[in-house]
Structure formats: C-alpha cells, structure tokens
Homo-oligomer: A and B are copies of this chain.
C-alpha cells in the first residue's frame, strides 16, 4: 500500500527544515488529518488519546483545588459580546458569525465562542447574590473558534480544543491568588507530565489578554529555539463585573463587585510535546502521556511459541498501557512505526530470547537497548518509564538553558537575535515604544517578565533609561 510505505520512509530532518519536519510528524504519526474546512483539523485516535491523557490529569489537578466543571452554550449573541469594550475589540475581528438558523435569518446574529468570558459573566450575574455564593470556581472543556489566516495543526487552528476556567471571588486578593495558583498548576503539570520546563511570568500590557488587568503566562522553548506560549491565567479585577453588573452583598450587607479570573490551556500542548521531544525518527512521548507506554514486538512470530510468549509479556505488563503488535508486518516495519508514534519502550521477544528467559527493551528517547530477565521485566519497565520521564525533562531543561542568552546592549540584542535562536534575557524600561522598537529592529517579542527576576543591567536594553524589569524576549509560534 502506498499509504503504508510512507510510514517507513524517512521524514524530513529537523535540521534541514523544522517546519516540514513538524508537518511530517503530525501526518505520519497519524495525529492529525486535514479536513475539507480550511484551518480545521481532524484529531485522529493517536492524537486524541494524548489529549485524553492530558485532560484526565489536568482535570484531576483542577478538582483537587475545588474546580467544578460546567457547560456553557457555544453561541454568544452580538450584544453580549459587545458588553466589555476591550474584550470585544480583541475578539470581534476573528469570530465566525451565525446569521441564519432553522431556515430563517436571525434577528440578532451570534458568534461561535472564541472564549467564554461574556457567557460566564452573564451567568454569574444571575446566580451570584450573596457572599455565601462565592467563590465560584468553574471550568469547561470545549472547543472554540478563532478565524486565523495562517494555521498549523495543534499550534494555530481555526477551531481548537481547550479548557477555560472562569472564577468569581469576593476580594481582589483572592482573585490574584487564584490567578497565580492556576498558573503554577499549569507549569507543574507541564514539567511533571509533559516533561517540558517552563518560564513562569507576567505578560507586558501589550501582550495581555483583551480585558484583563494582568495576564500571567508559561513559556516553553521549542527545539528550534522558538518560544511557545503554553498556558495563560488572567486577573480581570472588577472590570468585567462592572460591565456585566455582577454584585454581591457582603457580610455588612453592602453591595460589592466580584473579582474575576480566567485561565486556559489547549491542544497546542501536543504541538509543544512534538517540538520539544521529537527527533528525526518521529515523535517521542513522555511516558505519562503516551497512549501506549510499551509495545511488545514478537521477532520471528512464525516460530511456534513466540506469539504466545508475546501475549504472556503483554499480560505481565498489564499494569502499564501496553500493546502487543501481532500484525503481519515485518519486525523492522513495526519498529519504525512505533518509533514514529513515539512509544517510549519497545520490547523485543524472539526464539533465542525465550530460550534465555529474557527480552530486549529499547528506549525511544536514547535508543539504548537493555537485555532483561523476564522475571524482572515488570519492575524494569516501571523503572525505565520513570527514568525516561525524568531524563526527558532534564534534557529539555539543558537545551532550554543552553539556548537562553543575555543582552545588555542593543548591539548584543541584535547580534543574538540574528545569530542565535532561543530566549534572550534583557532589561526593559516598561515603555511600549521600546517593546515595539525591539519587535521592529530585532524581530523579537516580549515573552514574559519572569517571576524569578534578576538585574542583569541597570538600564533598558533599548532606550538606555532606568530599567524596571527583566524580560524574556524571543521569536514565538
């Protein structure tokens, strides 16, 4: 089959063309198929299973902090979208409008949600009356639509899957606390589960969310040295509450506005996993989100007893997400296929192994091969998966640190921006003009003002005036 052949052909190497390498992986690892609608992707089983594991773990962590899930309508009437001025300016240009329904023209058109702040605010204005109704810590898992001109699977698509948390609190302090709490939850999740180290920080005013007082972000560095914004958490203060009239009576029976937050992560995370861990043989999945953690591949499965032994191994390993590949393809073909899909461990079992009561385990990330006695197989697999999870994070951290540069003068900034790829740490005066100048001259945008501030110089890298904060700059997806 022409379709099958492609699987074992080499993909474009990432050194040659990183963008093409990425596209090859999402297609050949069967994560995504393009649909007939420009900019909309079909997430195939191998891709969706990763998303399910991400959802399950994130949702569990959310609920531990008191989050409750809800479901809001996918449509927003135009008048509702228009209620908060900054918000509508940010989103109106990129929405899809429903103008007809049930064979008739609508009296008021509705957009498909690009995000649901307005819906949650309208909802909260109905159900919040007293301090006893607070806090509300709601979240929903859904898809949203944003009309994008240029799209790439997982990274930027017209429709994407995400979760959006929306909370309402009695005080400004509580809202700020929740905003930071969720950002840290996101960063911990990315590091512990996706094995991707994050820079945690605050967005500049230029880069913050439409309608927010403050936006916090986690930023990751991809293998090609570009940054990827991986999750954001916004503190709205009482701006939306005033636009939507969300008030409660406090313990002294006085009317007060609530303070709100929102926070989200998306299927973009799958793109991050590909671009941080992938190699020229395909995807490399951290064990924690690998739909198949170990694949058992019988070698010479035509020989009596081999297939049975393979099933036996599958059974021994049933505590993990294990698969026995008993298809009629050749072992070499199977090796390439499961490498492409990023399966962490491959377990080879053939007649000679059976005789010696052993199996060969190959690690996807290092290609290391280990011969293991079958009596120790289960323990060894558990150990290797844990080691791999840890080492993948460590390698990504080393790569990130090796590609994090400093610039204290504009000359240094221009030099690094032109000749290196990675994060650039530089001081900033806080003025929009300098941010725009750096974009124009060096082609970099501010990724964040990291929580871990350092003073690497006294003056702004751009204008030379006194610096207010350290900023991570970079080229971003």
Contacts and interface: CB of A to CB of B under 8 A. Distances in A.
A102 B48 contact: no
A134 interface: no
A312 interface: no
Interface centre among A33, A98, A112, A123 (most CB of B within 10 A): A98
A69 B48 contact: yes
A426 to B, nearest CB: 34
Contact of A73 (B45, B122, B127, B159): B159
A68 interface: yes
Contact of A37 (B52, B94, B110): B110
Interface stretch (A137-145, A272-280, A368-376, A447-455): A137-145
A122 B35 contact: yes
Interface stretch (A74-82, A204-212, A403-411): A74-82
Contacts of A44: 70
Given A75-B159, A143-B74, A69 B98 contact: no
Given A36-B77, A99-B100, A122-B36, A45 B71 contact: no
A117 B381 CA distance: 41
Interface string A157-176: 00101000000000000000
Contacts of A94: 102
A15 B103 CA distance: 38
A42 B1 contact: no
Contacts of A80: 36
A414 interface: no
A96 B103 contact: no
Contact of A123 (B33, B48, B51, B77): B33
B35 A123 contact: yes
Contacts of A159: 73-75
Interface of A: 1-4, 33, 35-37, 40-45, 48-49, 51-52, 68-77, 80, 93-103, 110, 112, 119, 122-123, 126-127, 129-130, 132-133, 138, 142-143, 145, 147-149, 159, 161
Contact of A42 (B35, B123, B149): B123
Contact of A143 (B102, B130, B142): B142
A42 B71 contact: yes
Contact of A129 (B1, B41, B68): B1
A129 B6 CA distance: 14
Given A37-B110, A40-B74, A142-B143, 9 more contacts: A3-B133, A37-B77, A42-B71, A45-B69, A48-B69, A52-B69, A75-B159, A97-B98, A98-B112
Contacts of A52: 69
A49 B70 CA distance: 8
Given A71-B161, A123-B42, A1 B98 contact: no
B45 A138 contact: yes
A115 to B, nearest CB: 15
Contacts of A72: 35, 42
Contacts of A48: 68-71
Contacts of A75: 37, 40, 96, 159
Given A45-B138, A129-B1, A37 B101 contact: no
Contacts of A123: 33, 35, 42
21 contacts: A1-B129, A3-B133, A33-B123, A35-B73, A35-B122, A36-B77, A37-B75, A42-B70, A43-B70, A45-B68, A45-B70, A48-B71, A71-B143, A73-B159, A74-B74, A74-B145, A75-B159, A93-B102, A99-B99, A101-B147, A112-B112
A71 B93 contact: no
The 5 lowest CB-CB distance pairs between A and B, nearest first, are: A102-B147, A40-B73, A45-B68, A43-B71, A97-B100
A353 B42 CA distance: 58
Interface centre among A2, A77, A96, A123 (most CB of B within 10 A): A96
Contacts of A129: 1-3
A334 to B, nearest CB: 14
A73 B42 contact: yes
A119 B159 CA distance: 15
